[in-house]
Amino acid sequence: MAIKGVLFDFSGTLFRIESTESWLRAVLAEADVTLPEGELLRLAGQLEAAGALAGGASPTGPLPDDLGALWAVRDRSAEAHRAAFTGLSRRVELPDARLHDALYDRHMTPAAWRPYPDTVEVLAALRERGVAVAVVSNIGWDLRPVFREHGVDGYVDAYVLSYEHGIQKPDTRLFGLACDALGVAPQDTLMVGDDRRADGGAADLGCAVHFVDHRTVVERPEGLRPVLDLID
């Protein structure tokens, strides 16, 4: 099989969100709120356990029924995404209630994200080989500014975002839309992602699938390079 198109997941695959501690520090600084170091670290730990940072850790423990139902469909609309993650955040008592929305807004900024060390290298190599690239993401906001700010947008031919279609992975329709956008048959397409359930749905459409580890940028300097071996 000759691979003519590659679909990439966003979070945990091409980019990684900042740590929960960095996220909270940035928002507190912007709001001019000062906390004792121990209190800041305690709150960061609680927010991480709550799963309040999109792209970070999932919630630990059971969720209330209403929040659990919202969590299951969080990537189908911008409204559901914001409501789910601010709902998780509000399970943690912060010094100012306005900080919950500020935290959500922060995670959508390019400054909150870093590309993996080999992201540009691999995308540039695919472009040189004439392989079409799409980003297929379960997400509730427009990630295109993140790619533009980090100089990666020029390597992406199409973006297929769940909230723009009301469909979330592993639904094969989302992968089908991406293949159609690239003009490539699923059988000639490789899906690269970090979530075996969500990204693995591409296999049901006939795509090849390759998984990477959802690790920090420092811990995963070369996780994407095997993609080039699969292409070659």
Tens-digit pLDDT profile for residues 180-225:
999 999 999 999 999 999 999 999 999 999 999 999 999 999 999 9
Query: What is the dihedral angle through the alpha carbons of 180, 168, 83, 164, rounded to the nearest 10 degrees?
Result: 10
Structural domains for the chain: 5-16+114-231 (3.40.50.1000), 17-111 (no CATH)
pTM, 2 dp: 0.97
Query: Does 156 have pLDDT greater than 90?
Result: yes
CB atoms within 10 A of CB 215: 14
* pLDDT for res 213: 96
Percent of the chain with pLDDT over 90: 99
CA atoms of 151 and 136, how far apart (whole Å): 18
Tens-digit pLDDT profile for residues 112-130:
999 999 999 999 999 999 9
Query: What average pLDDT does the chain have?
Result: 97
Tens-digit pLDDT profile for residues 157-171:
999 999 999 999 999
Beta bridge partners, 136, equal 160
Tens-digit pLDDT profile for residues 79-114:
999 999 999 999 999 999 999 999 999 999 999 999
Query: Does 27 have pLDDT greater than 70?
Result: yes
CA atoms of 225 and 125, how far apart (whole Å): 10
* pLDDT for res 232: 87
Summarize the confidence of residues 130-151 as an average pLDDT: 98
Dihedral sign, Cα of residue 205, residue 71, residue 60, residue 64: negative
User: Binning pLDDT at 50, 70 and 90, where does residue 38 land?
Assistant: very high
* pLDDT for res 51: 98
Query: Does 1 have pLDDT greater than 70?
Result: no
Distance, C-alpha 215 to centroid of its chain: 12
- Which residue in the block uniquely carries the two structure tokens 């996780």? 223
Q: Are 220 and 13 in contact (CB under 8 A)?
A: no
